[in-house]
Amino acid sequence: MASLKDVAKKAGVSEGTVSMVLNGKPGPKEETRILVLKAAQELNYVPNSNARNLARKESTTVGLIVTDIENPFFGSVTRYVNQYLEEQNLSMVLSLSNDDTATEDLVIRNFIQQGVRAIILAPTQISRKKLRALRDLQERKIPFVFISSYYENIEAPRVLTDYRQGSYDLVRYLLDTGHRDIRFLVSSDLEAPIARDRIQGFMDAYDTFALSPLEDAVHQCPRPDYESGYREAEMIMRDSRPDAIIAINDFMALGAKHAVRNLGFSVPKDLSIAGYDDVVYASMAEIPLTTVRQNVPDIARTAVDILIRRSPRTPIDIRVAPELVIRRSTESRHRTAN
């Protein structure tokens, strides 16, 4: 197994610098931090000791990794995971990946070093082939469960909403109410499982009506956040006049709604806006947001139950039913004759 010295040699820095980077201490420049993280990942470096391995068996701590705590959906996930772990007399330690694969690997290795009992992982929205950190968990027999998404080439339990069904329900509702030109804001990686599922649901709904979306109906955004939703909607509205803009989460949809209104358009009179998740701000907005509700309490409880009561009979793929929630950000495009 690679040592701290090996990582330092490969990155071309001192062992002290490697230690500072891997422990998250300030000092090293950003380019140095990237070099060290890359070297650690390539060497499959995991700082650990036999004593910590033994301690893990008695640990009452579960690690939770989410991509973005600013997104209220992950705030809700964190709240309920923590609540259900406390009911089992377990504690939670939270860490963020910032939707970055290198950071995600580092967090996993840090959790191994800390001797956590198990890990609940909301993975990045990026499809991955190199998954050494997760392979380490499997080799060390540290249980983990995916929540909200998953990596296809890792066999582990996953608990998530039926995204395909949720997208289908939303788009079918919009088509049924006269919308035809519907633009779909998604994440940058269309091969990520949940992006693919959502897009398939989008296409399924059009198929139900024997219709086809515009060729450029699906818009890839750099990040699944408020700013990306705002900027993409702004670009769409400068070039065209769609009937509706929908997004893979409420955070992006709220950004899109803000952009549309800043350009002088009315929601829902000029176009409808809808999201996914049903975060708290969706119903509190000045124009409450039509969305697809994820049952976060059920998802979180199921993930915790899998870790506590794991069994060879545990289903590897658990899909929680979504619920379409219709609010004032959408309205019918059908026009009644005078």
Distance in angstroms (rounded) separating the CA atoms of residues 332 and 176? 8
Secondary structure of 127-192 in HEC code, one letter for each residue = CCCCCHHHHHHHHCCCCEEEECCCCCCCCCCEEEECHHHHHHHHHHHHHHCCCCCEEEEECCCCCC
List of the chain residues with pLDDT < 70 = 1-2, 23-26, 44, 46-58, 311-312, 335-338
pLDDT of residue 335: 61
pLDDT of residue 338: 40
pLDDT of residue 184: 98
Write out pLDDT tens, residues 123-137.
Answer: 988 878 778 889 999
pLDDT of residue 180: 97
Which helix (DSSP H) or strand (DSSP E) does residue 201 occupy?
helix 193-208
Distance in angstroms (rounded) separating the CA atoms of residues 82 and 253? 27
pLDDT of residue 1: 56
pTM here is 0.79
Please, what are the domains in the chain?
A: 1-45 (1.10.260.40), 163-293 (3.40.50.2300)
Secondary structure of 265-302 in HEC code, one letter for each residue = CCCCCCCEEECCECCHHHHHCCCCCEEEECCHHHHHHH
Q: Is 297 exposed, middle or buried (0-12, 13-18, 19+ CB in 10 A)?
A: middle
Distance in angstroms (rounded) separating the CA atoms of residues 76 and 93? 15
pLDDT of residue 5: 81
Distance in angstroms (rounded) separating the CA atoms of residues 248 and 199? 9
Q: How many residues does the chain have?
A: 338
pLDDT of residue 47: 58
